Amino acid sequence: MLSFVFSRALEENIEPDYVRRFIRRRNLLAARQRLGSRLIRLAQSASDAFMRSHLHARAVDVLARAIEIEPLAEDLHRRLIEALIRAGRRAEAVAAYRRCEQLLGRVLGERPSPDTERAADELRARPQMPVKR
């Protein structure tokens, strides 16, 4: 790939600085993708551990922060919805599902995956708790 870039640059009389910037930008994007993947795996592991320990609010915090950095990671959205359900925060879970659905539709032109839809179905199946007065 790099040899193609350099040979093309020579053919087109493109400045070497431009080629260096192109390569640097490409390397930065690759590093960003690797870090994003690591963040997703770390958030998944941490939220799993918190959920197993019934620390649902901690799982919610971890997942919400990870989604701020990787907003298109649908698995994080699904896990957030599930953690909010377990934490008894139904209204927030509904809002999280709607945000996920809108984001995927707007940015990717996709519907949520069957796993995310199942989390939403679980949410719909749970009765809303009456407000204590």
Is the confidence at residue 99, as pLDDT, over 90? Answer: yes
Closest Cα partner for 90 from 55, 133, 130? 130
State residue 16's pLDDT score: 62
- Interhelix angle 90-103/114-125, rounded to 10 degrees, is 150
CA angle 91, 96, 102 (to 5 degrees): 125
pLDDT digits (tens, 9 = 90+) for 51-71: 999 999 999 999 999 999 999
Which run of H or E residues covers position 10? Answer: helix 2-12
pLDDT given for residue 17 in this prediction: 67
Q: What's the angle, vertex CA 34, arms to CA 71 and CA 100, rounded to 5?
A: 15
Homologous superfamily (CATH) for 2-125: Tetratricopeptide repeat domain (1.25.40.10)
Domain locations along the chain: 2-125
**Overall pTM surpassing 0.85 (yes/no):** no
pLDDT at 81: 95
pLDDT of 28 > 80? The answer is: no
